[in-house]
Amino acid sequence: MKIMGIDIGGSGIKGAPVEIETGLLAEERYRLATPEPSSPDAVGDVVTKVVKHFKWKGPVGCTIPSVVRDGVAYTAANIDQAWIGTNGRKLLQRKTRRPVFLLNDADAAGMAEMEFGAGRGQKGVVIVLTFGTGIGSAIFVNGQLVPNTELGHMELRGKDAEWRVSDRARQDKGLNWKKWAVRVNEYLGRIESLFSPDLIIVGGGVSKRHEKFLPMLTTRAQVVPAQLLNDAGIVGAALAARVLV
């Protein structure tokens, strides 16, 4: 069975139909730039373009970088503040004229990794961290998701951790991989002191270059790269939308 998955990010909005039995994209993903400003209406228009690109008629799973409860966005990380308090599910359903399931972007990526990727069959506490424009997080306990964790906004040296440790911070500050890994180690040390994870999965844009920094990370927990790379959000969004079928 195929379900459309769409991943709304701070810089791009990408989607594709997904074979939910295998976690594979059924067609090549389609990506458009996230509009500026990334208001709910503007983002909804781009999501609609992605849906129309595939001539999609069925349900749609959609991620957003926000705490999401019952379709309502309660935070706005790397998207316009107008999202806060917006029922994104209803807005996207009205725009696309399709049934929509809306969830946190890192939760979606984590779901994909736990079902088809590096977390498959893992017990205990697994933390998925996506390093990109910001830092997304998903925590699983014996395979069960603890939704809407925001570990990218943990305090680190007086500021949100993602301002020091995200991939955008690495690029903006011109850090080489060794210097960035020092910051990541500090961040992971804080996470380990709070959650004592058995496994940490590193995803997001940097996962494609994991050999540059993963060997320099020193944690008690095993740290592995995400296997679904940047498709994880799309796949997880489609998996979440199974409830609409």
Other Cβ atoms closer than 10 A to 22: 10
For the chain, the residue count is 245
For 30-81, the pLDDT digits (tens) are 999 999 999 999 999 999 999 999 999 999 999 999 999 999 999 998 899 9
Burial (CB count within 10 angstroms: exposed 0-12, middle 13-18, buried 19+), residue 203: buried
Alpha helices in 129-176 (DSSP H): 162-165, 167-172
Other Cβ atoms closer than 10 A to 112: 30
Going by the DSSP 8-state scheme, the letter that residue 198 receives in this structure is S
Residue 58's nearest CA partner among 96, 10, 84 is: 96
> Cα–Cα distance between 167 and 120 in angstroms, integer?
25
For 70-96, the pLDDT digits (tens) are 999 999 988 999 999 999 999 999 999
Domains contained in the chain, CATH given: 2-107+232-244 (3.30.420.40), 121-226 (3.30.420.40)
Inform me whether the pLDDT recorded for 245 exceeds 90: no
Inform me whether the pLDDT recorded for 230 exceeds 90: no
Residue 62's nearest CA partner among 84, 77, 46 is: 46
